[in-house]
Amino acid sequence: MNRTNLKNYLRDNFENDPDFAKDFVQCSLNVKTGIAIINLRKKMGLTREEFARLVNMPQATILQIEQGDIDVTTDLLIKLATTTKQHVEINFSPIFED
C-alpha cells in the first residue's frame, strides 16, 4: 500500500468508524507520550530503572509507556508530571492535512 492509499484508508475509516477514530487518537497520544517520557528521562540523566523508582512505578511499566503500549490517561500524566515536577502541555492539531 503506497502512502496515498494509506492516507485515504485512514481518512475513510476515521470519518466512518467512531471506534477507529477513538483508537487512532489514543494510539497517537500513547506514542507521543512515550517519546516525551524518553526525552524527559534522558534530560534528567536517569536510567529507566532510576526513573521508575522516582515515579514509583515498575520499570516494565515505564518501558511500556515509552514504547506506546499503555493507554495514556490523565491520571497517568498527572502522576508523572507531579513526581518529576513538570507541567503537562496539550495541543490540538489536524490529523489530516490536505
Q: Determine contact, residues 72/39, Cβ cutoff 8 Å.
A: no
Q: Determine contact, residues 22/16, Cβ cutoff 8 Å.
A: no
Q: Which three cell numbers stand for residue 51?
A: 526513573
Q: Determine contact, residues 88/81, Cβ cutoff 8 Å.
A: yes
pLDDT in tens, 1-44: 788 898 899 999 999 999 999 999 999 999 999 999 999 999 99
Residue 58 pLDDT level (bands cut at 50, 70, 90) = very high
CA separation for the pair 61, 72 (Å, rounded):
12
Q: What length is written for the chain?
A: 98
Q: Which domains does the chain have, with CATH numbers?
A: 3-84 (1.10.260.40)
Which DSSP state fits 14? H
